[in-house]
Amino acid sequence: RPAGRRRRRPGGGSAAESRVRRAPGSGARGGGGGGGGGRRGGGQRGRKSHSRGQRGARTSPLSPRQAQPEPGSKGKLELPETIAVRTLAGKVGAQATAIVKYLFSQGKMVTVNDELDFETAAAVAERLGYEVVRPQDPLAAMVADEDDPPEKLQPKPPVVTIMGHVDHGKTTLLDTIRKTRVAAGEAGGITQHIGAYQVKWGDSAITFLDTPGHEAFTAMRSRGASITDIAVLVVAADDGVMPQTVEAISHAKAAGVPIIVALNKMDKPDANPDRVKQQLVEHGLVPEEWGGDTIIVPVSALKGEGIDELLEMILLVAELRELKANPERRARGTVIEAQLDRGRGPVATVLVQKGTLRTGDAIVVGQTAGRVRAMLDHQGRQVDEATPAMPVEVLGLDEVPAAGDELIAVDDERAARELAQRLREQARAEEMRRPGKASLEDLFRQVQEGQRTQLPIIIKADVQGSVEALRESLLKLSTDEVEVRIIHGAVGGITKSDVDLASTADAVIIGFNVRPDATARRAAEQENVEIRTYRVIYEAIEDVEKALQGLLEPEYREVVLGHAEVRALFRVPNVGVVAGAYVTDGKIVRGSQVRVIRDGVVVYEGEMASLRRFKDDVREVAQGYECGIGIEKFNDLKEGDVIEVFRIEEVARQAQ
């Protein structure tokens, strides 16, 4: 009865049963076979007899001494992904306590109220003679990746990933192919953001993925290799095979992707192609002219030599591989890059791999959903549909997805949001956050004294690719003594929410090309949360590595003096653009260093050129006043930008 069930104790029995268990002999003296006339099954005596009949492990099929029913002899049983022990007991007709005992014998400690995963519950049910099946899930069926009928398959352009060591000319090669000057604008010669481009060659098209070549970007490169059809490995004829070259070869081989070697910088006087070929042989890439099957094309990306032959070889390999896809099905694709755009909202660069993605389609992308509001091709032109191997920017998502997330077109927007919500709940259930004090300077001492075994880190960056690259690089720094844990990584400026999480988990916040807002800075000071910001990804990795080794000694610190909001722009002859700005906090001091922050992302860092109030040069301007600020060698200011003014102070090293 319901009332009886409410009185049952955690062990699975009623109060009466508990009293019976404490008096083992009472059942035999309870009057006439354990019942007492018409009260059998209704009073304590009836329950006592029932309890004695069920309590023995020897009577349960879950007992190792009991003969087991034939598998499936009791029919099919549908079980959900998780189920409570008590609920499972009702479904299979067994005592909850018997299931607990059985699982204990299998090394699993549970109570009758605990949730079991599908595999564990299925093992119990199958032992009791049931054939276990998962329930039909319309959402799961919607996203199932069915095989395409051969008659529906049509040829598609090859997707080519350009891989190789930093400075070997990958971006220059791609730039030469596309006939644009992308490479010239690259910061430090390293591609910070992955791009996807489609070029026409004769009657054919080729899609190129530009992936960074440094080992810090292993995550993005391996992701690129997983969605590519052909890898073009750029090797400099003067430098030869480098560690990142070997890594790139490993990723391409692991993905089962054919490799074409572009032997670059052949115009250099110290180019030695035979030496490079010998090095490639050592890593399993034997040139065709040496009896192998690796195509090697000599090129000079700088002079544009050998490019036509390289494109011809790409199309030849693509033809031999018979690359095909079904354009008539629902679209599936992969996110190459994602970011939050000020005017357009979440924007994802997606490579369509199967089907055709159309404007208006309901989509699930990782843990977010939406409807395709608009699509832009690699040249910024709006398109209504994207076919296999076509890269497009997709607008209309609720949130910024992660690079590498899968895009799936579904029936309608409601189904998309339900599926995204389910995926979010699953991810949330798997999250585990373990707190621990965190300060890079003090980390080594804490490890030595046994106070710390983990270093929790929060990563914020300007684009998802940078988040993923930092995550992979920092996780590799874990040692036997201390584990690096990335408890959160996302795109955007550092917010109070990040500081709150860092305070709870005692984590360090690392920002790449982003800054904390005023609220986050104040919260960090109050909560004593360490925020470290970087413009170069290797410096962040190096700082954490030194901290783990006990070598990090602070020599300089940054002191933020104030912030000013740009409210107007003035073009001054022979000077450039001057910002009409309002000092929102602190003070603006002439001669300081400045950062220009746009939507939480650092767009420039340099020196202040001038500071004026009305027509007068001034030394400083306090909070609440307006001023004119000129920035050295930077004119690309916009209204709404925030100018952060700071100085670097040397900190005396403490005696060890």
Encode 15-40: b = buried (16+ Cβ within 10 Å), e = exposed.
ebbeebbeeeeeeeebeeebbbeeeb
User: What's the mean pLDDT in 60-74?
Assistant: 67
pLDDT tens for residues 519-556? 898 888 888 888 999 988 888 998 888 877 764 455 56
Q: Choose between 30 and 401: higher pLDDT.
A: 401
Residue 454 sits in the same domain as residue 534: yes
Most confident of 47-61, 67-81, 103-117, 444-458: 103-117
- Look at residues 330, 331, 334, 412 and name the one whose alpha carbon lies nearest to residue 369: 412
Residue 90 sits in the same domain as residue 206: no
Q: Catalytic pick from 87, 97, 171, 172?
A: 171
Q: If pLDDT is split at 50, 70 and 90, which confidence band does 4 have?
A: very low
Q: If pLDDT is split at 50, 70 and 90, which confidence band does 430 have?
A: low
171 is catalytic: yes
User: What's the mean pLDDT in 83-112?
Assistant: 88
Residue 393 sits in the same domain as residue 520: no
Residue 297 sits in the same domain as residue 176: yes
Residue 461 sits in the same domain as residue 481: yes
Q: How would you classify the pairing of strands 454-461 and 508-512? A: parallel
Residue 163 sits in the same domain as residue 253: yes
pLDDT at 353: 92
Residue 545 sits in the same domain as residue 572: no
- Domain total of the chain: 6
Q: Catalytic pick from 156, 193, 214, 251?
A: 214
Helix (H, G, I), strand (E, B) or coil at 368: strand
| Residue 148 included in any domain | no
Cα Dmax for the chain: 112
615 is catalytic: no
Residue 413 sits in the same domain as residue 454: no
| Residue 142 included in any domain | no
Residue 49 sits in the same domain as residue 61: no
- What are the residues facing 333 on neighbouring strands? 352, 407
| Residue 655 included in any domain | no
pLDDT tens for residues 25-55? 444 444 444 444 444 444 444 444 444 444 4
Residue 492 sits in the same domain as residue 624: no
Average pLDDT of the residues of the chain:
78
Contact indicator for 220, 468 with CB cutoff of 8 Å? yes
| Residue 28 included in any domain | yes
pLDDT at residue 104 greater than cutoff 50: yes
Residue 508 sits in the same domain as residue 541: yes
pLDDT at 526: 82
How long a stretch of residues is the chain? 656
pLDDT at residue 373 greater than cutoff 70: yes
Q: If pLDDT is split at 50, 70 and 90, which confidence band does 267 have?
A: confident
Instruction: List the structure tokens of 436.
Output: 């621990």
108 is catalytic: no
Q: Catalytic pick from 114, 148, 167, 500?
A: 167
Helices assigned H by DSSP within 438-517: 440-448, 464-475, 496-505
214 is catalytic: yes
Range of the domain at 245: 159-322
Q: How distant is the alpha carbon of residue 610 from its chain centre?
A: 42
Q: Catalytic pick from 48, 156, 168, 170?
A: 170
C-alpha to C-alpha distance for 301 and 299, rounded to whole angstroms: 6
Residue 19 sits in the same domain as residue 36: yes
Contact indicator for 488, 581 with CB cutoff of 8 Å? no
pLDDT at 3: 44
